[in-house]
C-alpha cells in the first residue's frame, strides 16, 4: 500500500479534485483536514522545504486575514509569515500532497499526477467537467 498524505480542505474544489485523482489511482490517502488540525511549525517548515518553495509562496492571498494582517508587505520575515499561517491556517495554500515521489502544492489539481506512484485506473473529469484522464487511465494534455 502506498503512503500518501493530503492536507485537504473539503470546501475547496481544487482540493476535492486532487483527492479524487489520488483515489483514482487506487489509493486511499491519509486525509488531514488542515483547518481543523493544522500542522505544527516544524512540520510546516519541512513541507515547505520538501516542496522547494518559499514560505511566502505557500501563503494564500485571497483570504481575509491576508489583507487584514498586511501580509503583502515584503518586510515580514519567514518566521513571521509562519506565525501568521499557524495562527490562521486558512492562509496555508492547499492542497499539499506528500507521496514517496515528492511533496507538491497541487494547484492545479493535476500536478498531483507527477508524484503519484500508481497509474490512474480509469477516466477522470474535474468537478467543472474538464477531462483530465481518459478511459484507459492516460493523462489528457
Q: Which sequence positions are flagged as catalytic? A: 12
Closest CA to 60 of 77, 32, 30, 84: 84
Do residues 128 and 37 touch, judged by C-beta distance below 8 A? no
C-alpha separations of 25 from 37, 100, 112 in Å: 26, 14, 11
**Do the Cβ atoms of 116 and 21 come closer than 8 Å?**
yes
Amino acid at each position: 500500500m502506498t503512503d500518501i498524505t493530503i492536507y485537504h480542505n473539503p470546501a475547496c474544489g481544487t482540493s476535492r479534485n486532487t483527492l479524487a485523482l489520488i483515489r483514482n489511482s487506487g489509493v486511499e490517502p491519509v486525509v488531514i483536514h488542515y483547518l481543523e488540525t493544522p500542522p505544527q511549525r516544524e512540520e510546516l517548515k519541512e513541507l515547505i522545504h520538501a516542496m522547494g518553495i518559499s514560505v511566502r509562496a505557500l501563503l494564500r492571498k485571497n483570504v481575509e486575514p491576508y489583507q487584514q494582517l498586511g501580509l503583502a508587505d515584503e518586510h515580514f520575515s519567514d518566521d513571521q509569515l509562519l506565525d501568521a499561517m499557524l495562527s490562521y491556517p486558512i492562509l496555508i495554500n492547499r492542497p499539499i500532497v506528500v507521496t514517496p515521489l515528492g511533496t507538491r502544492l497541487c494547484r492545479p489539481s493535476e500536478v498531483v499526477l507527477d508524484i503519484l506512484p500508481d497509474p490512474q485506473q480509469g477516466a477522470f473529469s474535474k468537478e467543472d467537467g474538464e477531462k483530465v484522464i481518459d478511459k484507459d487511465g492516460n493523462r489528457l494534455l
